[in-house]
Chain A
Amino acid sequence: MYAQMVKTAGTGVKTPDEMSDQERAFQARIDAGEKIEPRDWMPDDYRATLIRQIGQHAHSEIVGQLPEGNWITRAPTLERKAILLAKVQDEAGHGLYLYSACETLGVSRDELIEMLHAGKMKYSSIFNYPTLNWADIGAVGWLVDGAAIMNQVQLQKTSYGPYARAMVRICKEESFHQRQGYSIMMKMAFGNAAQKAMAQDALNRLWFPSLMMFGPPDKDSVHSTQSMAWRIKINTNDELRQRFVDQTMPQMKYLGLTCPDANVKWNEDKGGYDYSDPDWDEFFAVLRGNGPCNKDRMAARVKAWEDGEWVRDGLMAHAHKNKIKNAAQVAAE
């Protein structure tokens, strides 16, 4: 899940009696499963919530290039390097679609980026954890992309048309990412003793942060009800987290790796695994800026943006000159 703890705008779910005629008609369209399109009327709070959610999702794709990019120059074979480059290129592409989807709501990409850099918008907490050994690149694909897919599959049915359509395309690429991650994990887990140790180390560090990607437990999730009524969110955090654990445990068993959660156990009655909560204090500390990489990630993005200013200005100035030149040419003809 690349968008977590998105604060829903407004004062909570209104009853039909409390809604204006426009709001009632809007809610009826959502309830009938219709897609809302950019030119349609929508409540201000629906728009504001979507901007936060899609923007956070876009930022996550862009910041997410950094932990994986960390290993491109050190990828162990030419093929692994090519696959990782293709994957990171896809992530940047996802950022681009999502910023474009967000722009249909009346906010520009530059404004969103400036809000991120000013600390007024967030990206997923997971990218504040480091990639320390090569197996981390496998674990990021397997666990992090796996968790992201769990969320994004349901978002293909989200009520806002441009977001839902972006998700359809993104989901196809993400499932390739997850497979490449798992393929690295297999090589490592079935490799020599050092490789096995790297695989276990990566799993130990990334398991709980991956569970955090789904956001706080439902009982503490204050923003969900309105977002679910608007179908901006389809499933609850705990539903998705459970599905993720159930999907991942057999894969972990196949790899012969040990889950860092000693309490993880199949529960026949519920037909799913019991598992321990991640440390939510750590989660909130990371969101507040105290994760292992928050400062480095933001510093890298801000530097890229500031160092690139002369490039953006130069290319814009050139495009402007060309426009004037072409107009003069047309006038002369």
Chain B
Amino acid sequence: MKIHEYQAKEIFQRFDIPTPRGKVASTAAEARKAAEELGTTPVVVKAQIHAGGRGKGGGVKLAHSVDEAEKLAGEILGMTLVTHQTGPQGKVVKKVLIEEGQEIEKELYLGVVPDRATASIVFMASLAGGMDIEEVAAKTPEKIVKVAVKPTTRMQPFHARALVYNLGLEPEIAKQFSALATKLYNMVLRHDCSLVEINPLIITKDKKLIALDAKINIDDSAMFRQKDLQAYRDLDEEDPMEVEASKYNLNYIKLDGNIGNMVNGAGLAMATMDIIKLAGAEPANFLDVGGGASAEMVENGFRIILSDPNVKGVLINIFGGILRCDILASGVVQAVNKVGLKIPVVVRMEGTNVEEGRRILKESGLSLFVATDVLDAAEKIAQIARG
């Protein structure tokens, strides 16, 4: 789960990690009040959306007075912010964070992630803060200091020392940095963070280390024990069709193509998308109905696919193991009868009771194209794509 910057900073504050004083606002009037309460100028007005690159997109502005803060907040709220992470359609800004401006001496980068290769919590730090860290990693990997913390030791002072000495921080800052890294580690464990990023982490003119930005993702698999963070979920940031699908435990991701598809199992679903592309069309979605999908899930999945107006045809690809093909076929027939069918649907199924399943499809009287195997399914989809 992704959360907003202002929410991430709320969590930071609970762990005593220094952030600028600030307040979130949903209207220009609220922004004015927040700026008044801060009582200092300048203040920074920051758009709150689930995407990076907000500054370049015009979503972060400096205000030198309360009036200007109100005016800028009014401009940013409601705007569609397009950044390299939002996609071309952009995201509508519904909240802004009003923060006390800082006198920056230096910008650092600090990231913490559970690393798959080492099965450890890895700190990544760099003096090249404020930049796109992927670019730094690609062009000048030597500028990134990496320290892995295994669960067998947990975070120890030597881990922190490895960070500050390799970064070459002066003693006064090093002390603050070590303390901050330890707090971050505790936060990652407490809240099952799958990503923490502070970019930039700044050193102020008066030698204070402050998290100027904050990004936290939470491990979706751990939400059962992160109930206090559930309220941070912002459905406005998610695709409405994906939200709808998640209600039925369907794993749906909307894409830009025109051939819808429904598959059981994530690997086969990705492979099916690739088959559609290979056939000369573009997949309209990823939809995994699960290794042991039920007829009801098939019906809901079908309804969601068809609600996408771009979809010109559908490929259903099910490898029935535990789920028997005859049951699946009944599910498809039931779904089509309920939802109605205005576009061609290719059904490819294989596995247990496949003969019976194909018979059910054939005798349903519905105009479904039954494919015998993956190659045949691709051929039939190619025909649909060609119109």
A, B: real partners: no
Binding site for B on A (CB under 8 A): none
